[in-house]
Amino acid sequence: MDCLVNLYAQPLATLAARVEITEATIRVALPPEQHIIKDWVRRHFSEYWVSEVTAAMAHQPPGCLIAVVEGELVGFACYDATARGFFGPTGVAEEQRGKGIGLALLSATLQAMKAQGYAYAIIGGVGPVDFYSKAVGAVPIPDEGEDIYQGLLRLKPAQEAQP
Ligand SMILES: CC(C)(COP(=O)(O)OP(=O)(O)OC[C@H]1O[C@@H](n2cnc3c(N)ncnc32)[C@H](O)[C@@H]1OP(=O)(O)O)[C@@H](O)C(=O)NCCC(=O)NCCS
């Protein structure tokens, strides 16, 4: 399911104030470090998300933001990857979850989209809807199963790389 976020509504401003004290440094990823990011995303998440990072890193400014703690990559978030105006994918290392890093990445990435001229962001193929509805007032977009991901090619289970 996709969800819609109004980038001019109060929840995004409220979130920006709330995430100010995150211990992670949130910044735009640089092209020379993309092999490190992709390797990390492959180990923690999936080859599909590596492909989306590749698309997000193929434009300027790069559409991938990262979270760094003590020089280590701990999370990432993309926009304009699968489609223009789309937020995602995003992920935080399991041992770093629950510390506000996912929200800080979400806030910084949506602010970057707003700065690029978007008035709304679409969270593509949402997993945790509650995370986005609570954080930025995201609302589900009715789609009857007809969305950009329909018919997406997928590896057979035996072809999936073992993490
Ligand atoms: C979703 C994800 C990025 C959140 O990162 P995180 O750093 O743990 O999130 P935060 O600590 O910033 O979250 C803080 C708030 O979000 C809520 N939250 C976190 N994960 C949630 C989830 N999966 N569902 C609902 N709420 C969630 C927390 O309860 C917390 O709420 P509170 O502030 O009211 O207590 C992380 O759980 C993750 O990497 N998940 C696996 C990948 C994934 O599902 N990505 C999203 C694809 S659309």
* pLDDT beyond 60 at 162: no
Nearest residue to 80 via CA among 110, 47, 37, 48: 110
> Does the beta carbon of 102 lie inside 6 Å of ligand 1?
yes
Dist CA 148 CA 59 (whole Å): 20
Q: What one-character-per-residue DSSP string does 74-136 give? A: EEEEEESSSSTTEEEEEEE-GGGTTSSHHHHHHHHHHHHHHHTT-SEEEETT-S-HHHHHHHH
Dist CA 51 CA 20 (whole Å): 30
Taking a C-beta distance cutoff of 8 angstroms, is the pair 28, 112 a contact? yes
Give the Å distances, CA to CA, from 97 to 52, 75, 103. Answer: 22, 9, 10
pLDDT of residue 161: 59
pLDDT of residue 156: 85
CB atoms within 10 A of CB 44: 17
Taking all residues of the chain, what is their mean pLDDT, rounded to a whole number?
95
**Residue 92 CA, closest ligand 1 atom number:** 39
Question: Of all helices (H) and strands (E), which one includes residue 5?
Answer: strand 3-6
Dist CA 106 CA 127 (whole Å): 14
> Does the beta carbon of 62 lie inside 6 Å of ligand 1?
no
Atom 43 of ligand 1 has which residue's CA nearest to it? 91
Question: Of all helices (H) and strands (E), which one includes residue 48?
Answer: helix 47-56
* pLDDT beyond 60 at 36: yes
Dist CA 145 CA 115 (whole Å): 31
Peptide bond into 89 cis (omega under 30): yes
**Residue 101 CA, closest ligand 1 atom number:** 7
pLDDT of residue 157: 79
* pLDDT beyond 90 at 145: no
Percentage of the chain modeled with pLDDT above 70: 98
**Residue 98 CA, closest ligand 1 atom number:** 11
Domains and CATH numbers, the chain: 3-140 (3.40.630.30)
